[in-house]
A and B are shown apart, each in its own frame.
Chain A
């Protein structure tokens, strides 16, 4: 198996505050990988380390086998990077920015950029500073597609975008991902958009990695069960119960175990679940289920 990104025992602190300790994951060549987590769990920190803009306290991060902090220019040319908020050179117009970047990348595909930009109602001399967030996101995406990188790193592509632009962004990414051996690493705070897009994921919590597995496996195995309980319950997380919440008499447990196992487990704890049932979840439900609402 060939890995494009290898994160080994990555540990980082901001001052005395732990971001995470011993973070490990690998991204297969040609896969779409999501790093998911609530705000402040270390997603952007990881992206910064991956792009060589942050030296981790300890551990290693390899991109195409090279230390991400010391990437060679040739390797950087193979990595496309979208900064959170679709930041680009706002003092340029859309023609100037294409002209500028095209000089750096040998496989530059101008057509990919102009095809995407033709869908926007903007003139070639329109400055980026006078474009909406959605329009700027299309410029940033167009530049990435024209660069034609082997690895695309996207830091919260959905930030500031309405539903239409998010869909447009993802549609183009899906087309890009279909191309042979293109790898995408993505973070987003809008989980439901990524449901049919991600292949593998790592979910971060304030205590580090909560989960690391293929999305299909996560969605198939992770279950939500609801039941009625007239009394207020107090269930701690353990091997069976991954999360628990109760709003008035409606209790919800999340688990990787099947219905019978969970029901028996609750009974073993002295709880008699009334109307115990499994409830279908989408990816966002599952994400909230495993990380909690708070």
Chain B
């Protein structure tokens, strides 16, 4: 049964997952090429000057990639469910409704995390090739909030798409925008390192948003 549900989600998302992979790899390739070009024509000390005095993020190209991927995957999964009330077909399957929603969001979350981990690994490899471990660690703690923003965008967008009430949709979208933009606001190194546990818990809680929208869909709210 859960293999069949995975199959359905896979059919909806496979090209979008591939597209997400391409977007992420393109951004990382750009970072790699930029770094290569920089060190080709500049010294390590001038790079350090950029980092220390201008808050230059050599991986800044990647900043919005997790956000775009979160939006893409949420759209790929839930636009087909929302259009023509196709979610009724899904919720009519002989499985508990909350379990169905949990599984759908779980699928998207799983692939987002896999993609994020893969991209993070590549960024670590690139960073470790050029920089000392302090820079690598600061990169990790700077990129994690961007990835949390991607997950938050995914959870909010999913809930917005199956929410039956327009005023609540707008409210959810505004809250989502507010939350995600908080995580993408700062351009500095490790700007969120102290608040990271709080943001992580908040994103984890957003997993439940879909159940509230799903509950209202089931009640026939209009």
Residues of chain A whose beta carbon lies under 8 Å from any beta carbon of chain B: 14, 48-49, 51-55, 73-74, 76-77, 79, 81, 83, 85, 87-92, 96, 99-101, 103-105
Contacts and interface: CB of A to CB of B under 8 A. Distances in A.
Contacts of B95: 73, 104
A96 B11 contact: yes
Contacts of A101: 4
Contact of B94 (A51, A53, A76): A76
A100 B94 contact: no
What are the 7 A-B residue pairs with the smallest beta carbon separation, nearest first?
A54-B220, A103-B4, A77-B94, A73-B94, A76-B94, A55-B219, A87-B84
Given A51-B88, A91-B12, A73 B4 contact: no
Contacts of A77: 94
B12 to A, nearest CB: 6
Interface in B69-116: 80, 84-86, 88-89, 91-96
B8 A100 contact: yes
A104 B1 contact: yes
A155 to B, nearest CB: 10
B3 A88 contact: no
Contacts of A91: 11-12, 80
B222 A14 contact: yes
Given A74-B94, A76-B92, A81-B92, A100 B85 contact: no
A132 B218 CA distance: 30
Dominant secondary structure at the A interface? loop
Given A54-B220, A87-B89, A103-B1, 9 more contacts: A52-B91, A53-B218, A76-B94, A83-B89, A87-B84, A96-B11, A100-B7, A103-B3, A104-B1
Report, as a range, how many residues of chain B touch the other chain: 20 to 34
A168 B88 CA distance: 25
Nearest to A83: B88
30 contacts: A48-B220, A51-B88, A51-B92, A53-B88, A53-B220, A55-B220, A77-B94, A79-B92, A81-B88, A81-B89, A81-B92, A83-B84, A87-B84, A87-B86, A88-B89, A89-B8, A89-B89, A91-B11, A92-B8, A92-B11, A96-B7, A99-B4, A100-B4, A100-B8, A101-B4, A103-B1, A103-B4, A104-B93, A104-B95, A105-B94
Contacts of B218: 52-53
Nearest to B84: A87
A75 B89 CA distance: 15
A90 B93 contact: no
A104 B4 contact: yes
Nearest to A106: B94
A104 B3 contact: no
A17 B220 CA distance: 15
Contacts of A99: 4, 7
Contacts of A103: 1, 3-4
Contacts of A14: 222
A54 to B, nearest CB: 3
Given A54-B220, A55-B219, A89-B8, A104 B94 contact: yes
Nearest to A75: B94
A89 B8 CA distance: 9
Given A91-B11, A100-B8, A103-B4, A53 B84 contact: no
